Structure 1
Amino acid sequence: MKTSIYATLAAVAFALPAMAQDMGDAANGEKEFRKCKACHMIQSPDGTDVVKGGKVGPNLYGIVGRKAGSQEGFKYSDALVKLGEAGEVWTTEDLAGYITDPNKYVEEKVGDPSLKTKMTFKMAKNQADVVAFLAQHSPDAGAASAGDAAEKPATN
């Protein structure tokens, strides 16, 4: 019994640094977000600009925990609308996958290679950092944890 407890504790001790690394560095993410603000802003519901940016893409305030393709007042591509209709709620893991290659992500989730997003930018590195920064400005981020992702309906 003691052996299994010690083995479990050792496994957790080794896993924690890897999990922390996966969460990303929000301070670095704020710097990396400069690439995103050509198209996106982060503006709170009271109108306060967290990050002034473009309006080509949707406002990213509250993106973690939000249903895909659902920002009121923004005209989404059919790809993002279908993703939302399939039940996609943005988790940190999903957002990291999406910003890596938006069209590939949607194709894998929806199963339709003809659907394309409007987002042409692909982030090759530091995705977890950007997502950690976005999570800081997402009041529902705690509701969109990795555990909740497992409870989402299948989208394939």
Structure 2
Amino acid sequence: MSGDLKVNKILGAGLATVFVILIVNEGASRIYGGGEAPEKMGYAIEVQEETESGAEAELLPDWGTVLPIADLAAGERAYARCSACHTINAGGANGIGPNLYGVVGRRPGGHAGFAYSEAMVAHAAEAPAWTYDELDAFITAPARHVPGTKMSFAGLKDTDTRVALIAYLRAQGSGGYPIPAPDPSRQPGAAEAAPGAEGVDATQAGGPDQNAPFTDPAAEAPLDAATAGNTGGSGETAPMQ
């Protein structure tokens, strides 16, 4: 009998404890839980995004000014990151990317023996030569400039490094590719000095046509991979695929 009484006391104490907890929870919810739950947790902080129209567009390099004074040693150092995928010596073998000897001014996707992506082959129809501007845009962001390219290189964002690299590439078999005359429209402050004025292209300034493939003066014909004996590059860089 005394055992049953002891069990009843224990059960009663347990029920009383549960009852007290329920009362406390209900009271707390009434005091502190007023209002409906927000749809989103936390606070929304509005951040003004910089628009493309509000940002100053970066001027293209003035090749007639920067190439003659480019640091070839710096360009060679920049090329070191390309050498894992490319050779650049005359007649060098293709690697993960095509050989780049004579790449400046050559036709994109045209180096013999290398399997280019369909995207690069199609790009050649839009840009028939690796001009300075084309190389600059591609090296900056390969996948953005040629969507679908097999080249996985993220790109070089620093303008001075790209200029030095392109100058070094030109020195490796593309020395005959002309440097255009300086272009005043690409100089800093040109937009403020002549608002609304269109830039002077290389031909208007008396320079060469930068859209034409590189032509060897001795051969009087474009030096593509077939006529150059496998010494012409495809125009892709680090690695260009």
TM-score range, shorter chain: 0.5 to 0.7
- Does structure 2 conserve the Cα–Cα contact (< 8 Å) formed by 1:65 and 1:140? no
Letter in 2 for 1:138: G
TM-score between both structures, scaled by the size of structure 1: 0.66
Tell me how far apart the structure 1 counterparts of residues 107 and 73 of structure 2 sit (CA, whole Å). Answer: 25
Structure 2 unaligned spans of 5+: 1-61, 181-201, 203-207, 214-241
1:21-36 equivalences in 2 (<5 Å)? 21=66, 24-36=70-82
Alignment counterpart, residue 139 of structure 2, candidates 72, 92, 99: 99
1:89-128 aligned within 5 A: 89-106=129-146, 115-121=147-153, 122-125=155-158, 126-128=161-163
User: What do the CA deviations read for 1:1-36 (whole angstroms, capped 9, x no partner)?
Assistant: xxxxxxxxxxxxxxxx98433663222100111111
Percent identity over the alignment is 34
TM-score after normalising by structure 2: 0.45
Which residue in 2 is equivalent to 1:129?
A: 164
Tell me if the contact between 1:100 and 1:124 (Cα under 8 Å) persists in the aligned partners: yes
In 2, Cα distance between the equivalents of 1:144 and 1:20? 9
Give distance in 2, aligned partners of 1:87 and 1:102: 14
Larger helix fraction of residues: 1
Of the three residues 173, 176, 190, the one matched with 1:138 is 173
**Is the aligned partner of 1:68 residue 2:100?**
no
When residues 141 and 63 of structure 1 are mapped into structure 2, their CA distance, relative to the original with a 3 A threshold, is farther
Task: In structure 1, list runs of 5 or more residues that go unmatched.
Answer: 1-16, 107-114
Aligned equivalents of 1:151, 1:64: Cα separation in 2:
11
**Shift of residue 92, structure 1, vs aligned partner:** 1.9
Match of 1:149, SS state, is coil
Which whole-Å CA distance do the structure 1 matches of 2:171 and 2:74 have between them?
A: 13
Out of 59-68 and 140-149, give the one that drifted further: 140-149
Checking the alignment, whether the CA contact within 8 Å between 2:67 and 2:167 is kept in structure 1 is no
